[in-house]
Structure 1
Amino acid sequence: MCVKKEGKNAEITCEENDCLENLKKKNVHSVGTKDPVEWLSSVQEPLLVTDYGIPPPEEFDPRFDETRIVSPIRNQGQCGSSWAVSVADVISDRLSLQMNSNITLSAQQFIDCIDEEPQCAPGNPADAWNYATIAKLMSEERYPWTGLNDQCQVSTRQCQDENCHLNKLYSVNNVVHLSSHHVDLMYEILFKGSVQATMRVGKDFTLYNSGIYKCPKNSSSIGYHSVRIVGWSETDDGEQFWIAANSWGTEWGENGYFKIAKGINECDIESYVLAANVRKIQTDEIETPIAEFDKTFDNNKNNITNNYCSQLFDYKNCCDGLDGNCSVQYENKFCYCDNMCSNEPGHPFECCPDYKTHCERDDALTNPSVIIPQSSEDNVPSVLTKIRLMETQPFIKFMEFKSQVDDKNLPEEYIIPEKYLPQITGKWADESWAVTAVDVVSNRLSMKHLLDQPVVISAQQLVSCSKIFRLTEGQPKDAWIFMEQHNMVDDDCYPWTGDSNKCEFYIKENYLVRCQQSSILQRPKLYQIGRAYRVPDNENDIMNEIINFGSVQATMQVYQDFMNYKNGIYNQPKDAEFIGFLSVTIIGWGEESNEKFWIAANSWGTSWGENGYFKIARGINACGIENYVIGVEV
């Protein structure tokens, strides 16, 4: 139990008398961070923190603030892992602040899944942050600390029930190298949480006991070390200092913490400060330690033909191409559930035991193509275009519902501002899940920021670059999961082609990008999308969502006669043939002759329907259009 003595010069002590017993021990502490010269250039250039208009307080110590949760001190032992431990703790602090819940992330996951050195050698903080932007980070409880560099113990399986949204997986975005000005750092810590700092250390630092540490002038450096700055204060004499958490256990320093001079870049501690925005991930996957899979497989050895591809995919719906996400652990190795696998001797990608019975499918089982005409009005040849609809209803149970404010004064008719309407072209309908998602994001970004020139997010980036992350043909969930976890560019940088080709777009170091029609690296505008959520399936909630935040994505049942829609209010036919599912964008509502309707944009070109738009009965869940409505935070 830690207690704080009175006064600005107070030190933190423990009720026990052996808090500083480390002075009597000859512990050898590992520093464990590579020279910043090797990695700093891979992080976005320093950003100035917003001036909040009020001066930061003279002292701020979140350990004694009931509204804050600070991650406990860890002991990295002889593993040179401060680069990983400090990142895990900073993300944990920020998640705890954001979610008002005590969250401790696994530091071992960073070491196992990034570090290629066999002896927990010094690592690279930038690698840890960049890994956190693409990985699904697990808790300490699910992936506990070992202090050793081992095999990455993470595997993935599909979640298939309504409790998917309870998965405790986390990620970050917008990693930045913060301004070295101490006031900017104070604002960042005060409003967003602790930050990671990398500092030079000398031998005397390992013997630190208490007081304000300063780098001795004549002491040689033993390397770089990453720590977590959690707050600041000053002495009665006005000497300012940072409050920082080390990772050498609670017996070191002031119960695991230390003070270091603030505002003078002592030991370079203000030069190499990194942080990021944090978030809980919504996903339909469960990230699970491999050990838990081993138990599952051991318990089912007598039934191996039903326990591999079948646990990942629906029947006859496995991967089309080679993909790491299509693999399952099998007898201390991996087997695959895609059409690139083979059981021929020496082939590197062995098929799972149940691949043939579960995955191989006859083309006759796939959804038949539907043919509709395209017109030269869309600047495309007047030919027949094949449209493939989604075969299954959207799986969005993992998304949380957003509570709505009941506005009883909704107008009888409404449509989003004309300049923010979707840009309807001859986009392929089998990508409606992607086209409608980016239409919603583009509309909401433009409306939120009142843009004179609306932004158009790239649908092609979503279609091509999400392929390696999805297990089947595209679904609405694939669009929202991908956009939440990846920076997006606009249509000018990655223009629409309508092809489901390979991803030819990568965000490189310093957020440089080679846009599709350019031969040079540049820094375009990058858009980060927030959490997607379900809108309750009743008309008032959907109307409230549209009028307050912008258009929504809806997925509806499609019947054969819908292909020939021209005008009027469409309703679900009694005897027409059901042919699949389609995602559309609801942009407003209206009423004609006492018949209520939604106004929606399709993605079949302007020659279809009312210049690409259609009306459909409102308030009666026509064609299930009110069942699967999605909004997003931007």
Structure 2
Amino acid sequence: MWTWYKLLIFFYLTTEIWMEKQFVSRRGMNLQAYSTGNFTDLERTRFKRALYKGHYCRTRGCCEDRNDDCVTHFYEANAMCYCDKFCERENSDCCPDYKFFCQGDNLYQKGCLRDGRHYEEGSVIKENCNDCTCSDQQWRCSQQVCLVRPELIENINTRDYGWTAHNYSQFWGMTLEEGYKFRLGTLPPSPTLLSMNEITVTLPSKIDLPEFFISSYKWPGWTHDPLDQKNCAASWAFSTASVAADRIAIQSNGRYTANLSPQNLISCCVRNRHGCKGGSIDKAWWYLRKRGLVSHACYPLFKDQIFNNNGCDMASRSDGRGKRHATKPCPNNIEKSNRIYQCSPPYRVSSNETEIMKEIIQNGPVQAIMQVHEDFFHYKTGIYRHVNSIKDESEKYRNLRTHAVKLTGNITVALPLVGTPVDCCWPQLPSAS
């Protein structure tokens, strides 16, 4: 039996060695098609011309050691050639530009390398939000501040700031200025808004506010998930429509639960024609009270706001008692209900955190205006607070913009003491009633 096993092992090793020789031999056979040792003078001339014109290893990239996948087509010889180090043996099957490109003997070749790939002089590639141009064998890149900054994400996630950051693919390639311009869209609060009297919520004096509260748990089916505003800078419209829809559903005890249309506000708010270029929430609430909105199902978001935000596709008239009725069918012809929803005048809630919590628990979600720093675009989970840049912050990092959001609840946590104050204050919180 032992002799039989030894014979099997010997047969296996012999087979492996034979297959390896056959494979090496097959790689060596391609050499005959373009080996310089067998070329005539004319063929040598053509080979030298191909040496400078052919883009083989330049395009494919070079490989260390033996890599049988490191292969490309040698079109002039109708054969395959290799860019791995194994091709340097006696029967070479290297590509014509292997020595010049892969062995460092390319001092006189023009162009630039990036990730193992060769680029011609004058080539332009995108490096996040910056354009990089190949010039004199060097990449020269623009110096714009990008919306996505991997070093800032790493800094946040490797330290205990109380929240985690994420690299959102839809933000990659955008500048910080483009993020402010297209992803926010609420103007700073107007003097009229700031002059509103604050209203406090009256609750029993002995009530204990919960450490954790979410509106959708208390009013299931009556609150609405946020809509994606994409690159439409209209948080003024999205947050207003969403808060109003929640409040109407809650105060009607679930009789009216339609999500209201931010597109109706973006396209039809005559006192604010900026649309996707920014707006003010006080004008949005004025329109909601005086003109009203249809549902999101009736007037859905345009797929391309830039080319479609040119006019209002909804109109209404008053019945003489303050109630308005639509005079046009829904822009979405599948939806038949064009009911107009209105609300009573908004009011301002104190910026005190306890008062905000009491308001949400008693009456539902509220709208908030907040200042946005550059790190907010990376927020994923946790209790957000601004984290300074890991570099010395220049003026280009200090531009602050305002953003309108919907607050739906609260959670009480113990924050670590790291010497940085928590950004927790929103100037005003108008809500529908």
TM bracket, shorter-chain basis: 0.3 to 0.5
Which of structures 1 and 2 has the bigger CA Rg?
A: 2
TM-score, normalization: structure 1?
A: 0.33
- The structure where strand makes up a greater share of residues is 1
Q: 1 or 2 for the larger relative contact order (CA 8 Å, sep ≥6)? A: 2
